[in-house]
Amino acid sequence: MNMFGDFLRKKRLELNKGLRTFCLENKLDASNYSKIERGTVSPPSRERIEKFAESLNIKENSDDWYSLFDLAAVAKKRIPDYVYNNETFVSTLPLLFRKADTGEHYTKEELLKIAEDIGKSR
């Protein structure tokens, strides 16, 4: 599962740029950027991801901006800060994890409520 790298690749291809051309135009190392897109290395620092966002024409605070950083956090096996800083939601995480671990399934309504609660954290 390489959602972060797949997202980067999708955004680059939306600009109709090949890997080498894109990296040359944005002063990025093609070998390292390729490894990130392929998921063979972890996402870089926030500052570097911000540079990627700028290069990919992703506007700050847009849905794509949030997706980019959320996917980076997931790739690093971390909970995004805005989720972690929501004490009410974080206190429910053990229950959420336990339910998922037992193989129980959430209803669509339950998942939408969780997403709504997380969204209030931004």
**pLDDT by residue, tens only, the chain of 122 residues:** 799 999 999 999 999 999 999 999 999 999 999 999 999 999 999 999 999 999 999 999 999 999 999 999 999 999 888 888 888 878 878 877 887 778 777 788 887 887 777 766 66
Which residues are within 8 A (CB) of 76 and not within 5 positions of it... i.e. 6 or more apart?
42, 43
> Whole-prediction pTM value?
0.79
Q: Where in the chain is the domain with CATH 1.10.260.40?
A: 3-78
State how far the Cα of 7 lies from the Cα of 58, in Å rounded to an integer: 12
Q: Which two tokens stand for residue 59?
A: 């506007």
Q: Which two tokens stand for residue 120?
A: 């209030």
Query: What's the CATH architecture for 3-78?
Result: Orthogonal Bundle (1.10)
Q: How far is CA 121 from the centre of its chain?
A: 16
